[in-house]
Amino acid sequence: MEKFIVNETNCALEPIHSPGKIQSHGFLVGIDKQLLIHFFSENIGLFLPNIPENLLGKSIATLDGLLGDHFRLPVLEQLLAIGTHNGFEQINPYQVEINKKPFYLIISLSSSYYLLEFEPVQSDMNVDLNKILGRSIAEMLGDKNLNNLLNGAVTQIRKITGFDRIMIYRFAADHHGEVVAEARKDGLASWLGLHYPATDIPAQARELYMINLTRLITNVHTEPSELRTSTEHKNYQLDLTHAQLRAVSPIHIEYLKNMKVETSFSISLIYKDQLWGLIACHHYSPRYIDYKSRESAKLFSQILSSALEFRQEEENQQMVKYYRENVDVLARQLLEPDLNVIDALTRGQVNLMQVTACSGAVLFYENNVKVLGITPTIPELRELVAWLKETVDNRFYHTNNLKSEYPNASSFQKIACGLMVCTLSKELNEYILWFKPEYIQTINWAGNQEKEKTIDEHGVLHLSPRKSFEIWSETIKGKSMEWNKEEINAVKRLKEEIVYTINLHANQIRLLNEKLQKAYQELDTFSYTISHDLKTPLSTIKGFTQILKKDKNLSPHAENVIYRILAGTDKMTSMIKEVLEYSRINQGELSKVNVNVKALVEELIKDLRVAYQTDKLEVIIGEAPNIKGDPLMISQVFSNLLSNAIKYSSGNENPCIRIDGAVMEQDVVYSIADNGIGIHNQELPKVFDLFKRMENVKNIEGTGIGLAIVKRIMEKHDGKIWVESTLGIGSTFYTAFKN
């Protein structure tokens, strides 16, 4: 047997807008455009005893005269013409006389038929609604608070209508209803605060309440009157949506009977084009309200609806203002120069928690997690974010029942049933989360709805109207309070502000970068020019010093001074040469070719052996794959690294250097290892800085430029360089060139 899902649409099977019957306190005639009768209610004879037996197919003129002096064919034709043109509300009701009693004729359209409904003028209301309406409305609107407004409304409506009980019934988002205001006759039990399941007023009934703002069920105990039609129309369901007399669904009649209600009159309350609720008027004995009074009540409801809109908006406005001001403060904090994004959102005078009514908030930003208030633990949060990343596509996601979508949330249900998410960057795992705790709610239902569901032998679910309306309490767990529109809007605005700030920061960094690059270029040009210009005076110094040196009469002291001047100029010349090399790297484009590293290294070693006069040096060349790059620059890289390896291992009894290359997936990596003096761990980070020399090389010649040149060349090639070293044992330098 297939399981039948219980929902409000079960009642939708009943054709409530075309029941084929009307309430029998009036009668109905349905005519076509040629004014021929196609439908009539079988109770017509009770109102018009002299009516011919078979009306079907006859002209409406048959009724002419039977309906008093005012009902004449030309008048009806005129009414139909105006109604069709301007809307039937313009002509309704038209008063006629039937058997000397006043009746209202109410005309409406049902596809291609005109429905003529006749109902008594006599109302059970002994007051003229129109007269007292103005004062009642003024009294009702006197209070600013929404609750007081609703209470005022029920009191006034009861005063005017004399009904035993007036309730304002408000629909929740899931369409179940709650009695939010009530005025009742002494001795009746209060229904205030009771909840009614959505199935009590199914979707199609709610639709009808949107079309017809008032609905009268005059007497639940009278039998409805069937509509008669010709055999050719036998299967035609005449749509009575706009008919005043439309018969009531038997289920609803039984429902009212079970509540002991004999007359029910409801007035729709519309808020922003939605059915916000109903004013439900119940009477425990039959009570009739005529069309004009119903229309007055409609006016009352329209005014209440707009007041409602106004009050609700005003209440929302306060919330909107509170959140807006907080987002404004956060936006200012975000722009403060000495606050970074994280601090601005979590440590200022206002923080993330004040843009929603939450109990905790978390910011995931730039690999940091910042927690405010009460939230799940960090590992739980990380798991949650991983789930969000995987499953949630919305940039703004919210739920008040997290564990229904994310079962792991059961472990922190108490503190976080409600979750609101604002995605800053899915790629970077940057999110803001807000949490609401579990809100355990006790709902007092008017009767236990579960008991009223039965499943027949075909597996079809039947909803029978409740027989008992005894209060039945239900506790709702696992949900938080709802996230409202104002909170969602505040979060959306906050995101705009954050994105704006992040972009602003990014732009500032870009500008700084550009400036820095320009400064670098200027510095390069400057150092290039200055070193270049230094070369001439330096060679002059050297030239004249060499002339001086040739003097045979020099004292040993002067000879020593001249020797030192010459050594100084030599050192300066090599420094200038290197600085020039360093500045030259960034000028001009790379011309990449395949470089034969094996040949290059062998050539370099040959020269370096001579330069450093190291006969004991052992050189091992392992694999030596080719590299793509600028041949001159690559030669500079190997020359610098090899000369350092030789220079800083020359103190070793058995100096040994080893060169190895390997082709990896994306790079060609070379290592140049020596067994020299090594580099102190703490000094390693500075080893590639310009002019930096380590503590342990004081007695070894050098300028501190070589590795800076190597690093620059590697960067220019989009490659990498790094070093591993142990003091006193040796160093290995690695270079990775793009394959």
Stretch that binds ligand ADP, among 118-126, 315-323, 466-474, 675-683 (CB under 6 A): 675-683
> Based on CB atoms, which residue is closest to ligand ADP, 163 or 648?
648
Residue 181 binds to ligand ADP (criterion: CB under 6 A) = no
Stretch that binds ligand ADP, among 133-141, 355-363, 544-552, 688-696 (CB under 6 A): 688-696
Q: Which of 42, 67, 40 is nearest to 56 (CA)?
A: 40
- 718 phi-psi bin (left φ>0, alpha ψ -120 to 50, beta other): left
Q: Which of 193, 201, 197 is nearest to 442 (CA)?
A: 193
Residue 465 binds to ligand ADP (criterion: CB under 6 A) = no
Q: Rounded distance, CA 399 to CA 406, Å?
A: 10
Q: Quick one: how far is CA 426 from the chain centroid? A: 13
Residue 707 binds to ligand ADP (criterion: CB under 6 A) = yes
Residue 731 binds to ligand ADP (criterion: CB under 6 A) = yes
Residue 697 binds to ligand ADP (criterion: CB under 6 A) = yes
Q: Quick one: how far is CA 706 from the chain centroid? A: 55
> Based on CB atoms, which residue is closest to ligand ADP, 437 or 676?
676
Q: Rounded distance, CA 401 to CA 413, Å?
A: 9
Q: DSSP letter for 124, please.
A: S
> Based on CB atoms, which residue is closest to ligand ADP, 372 or 687?
687
Site for ligand ADP in 575-594 (CB under 6 A): none
Q: Give the shortest CB-612-to-ligand ADP separation in angstroms.
A: 12
Question: Cβ contacts of residue 546 below 8 Å, gap of 6+?
Answer: 566
Site for ligand ADP in 646-665 (CB under 6 A): 648
Ordered alpha helix ranges (H), 397-484: 402-405
Residue 677 binds to ligand ADP (criterion: CB under 6 A) = yes
Residue 694 binds to ligand ADP (criterion: CB under 6 A) = yes
Q: Rounded distance, CA 696 to CA 729, Å?
A: 13
Which class for 81: exposed (0-12), middle (13-18), buried (19 or more C-beta within 10 A)?
exposed
Q: Give the shortest CB-671-to-ligand ADP separation in angstroms.
A: 12
Residue with tokens 């004292």: 555
Q: Give the shortest CB-733-to-ligand ADP separation in angstroms.
A: 7
Question: Cβ contacts of residue 434 below 8 Å, gap of 6+?
Answer: 352, 353, 355, 356, 358, 360, 361, 419, 420, 421, 491
Among 406, 566, 703, 724, binds ligand ADP (CB under 6 A): 703
Q: Give the shortest CB-734-to-ligand ADP separation in angstroms.
A: 12
Q: CA torsion, points 136, 140, 142, 144, in degrees to nearest 10?
A: -170
Contact letters for ligand ADP, residues 592-631 (x by CB under 6 A): ----------------------------------------
Stretch that binds ligand ADP, among 207-215, 512-520, 538-546, 695-703 (CB under 6 A): 695-703
Among 104, 674, 712, 713, binds ligand ADP (CB under 6 A): 674
Contact between residue 278 and residue 181 where contact means Cβ atoms under 8 Å apart: no
> Based on CB atoms, which residue is closest to ligand ADP, 617 or 707?
707
Q: Give the shortest CB-701-to-ligand ADP separation in angstroms.
A: 8
> Based on CB atoms, which residue is closest to ligand ADP, 181 or 707?
707
Residue 702 binds to ligand ADP (criterion: CB under 6 A) = yes
Q: Give the shortest CB-622-to-ligand ADP separation in angstroms.
A: 18
Q: Give the shortest CB-583-to-ligand ADP separation in angstroms.
A: 15
Q: Give the shortest CB-692-to-ligand ADP separation in angstroms.
A: 6
Which class for 475: exposed (0-12), middle (13-18), buried (19 or more C-beta within 10 A)?
exposed
Q: Considering CB under 6 A, how many residues would be counted as binding ligand ADP?
A: 22
Stretch that binds ligand ADP, among 104-112, 227-235, 387-395, 704-712 (CB under 6 A): 704-712
Q: Rounded distance, CA 281 to CA 124, Å?
A: 14
Q: Rounded distance, CA 249 to CA 252, Å?
A: 5
Among 687, 713, 714, 736, binds ligand ADP (CB under 6 A): 687
Q: Kindly report the CA angle at 236 between 231 and 241, in degrees rounded to 5? A: 140
Residue 693 binds to ligand ADP (criterion: CB under 6 A) = yes
Residue 385 binds to ligand ADP (criterion: CB under 6 A) = no
Question: Cβ contacts of residue 105 below 8 Å, gap of 6+?
Answer: 67, 71, 79, 92, 93, 94, 95, 96, 116, 117, 118
Among 106, 261, 330, 645, binds ligand ADP (CB under 6 A): 645
Q: Give the shortest CB-663-to-ligand ADP separation in angstroms.
A: 24
Rounded to whole angstroms, what are the CA distances from 227 to 216, 618, 672? 19, 116, 104
Q: Give the shortest CB-682-to-ligand ADP separation in angstroms.
A: 13
Q: DSSP letter for 29, please.
A: E
Residue with tokens 């002019």: 691
Residue 136 binds to ligand ADP (criterion: CB under 6 A) = no
Contact between residue 2 and residue 459 where contact means Cβ atoms under 8 Å apart: yes
Which residues make up the interface to ligand ADP (CB under 6 A)?
A: 640, 644-645, 648, 674, 676-679, 687, 692-694, 697, 702-708, 731
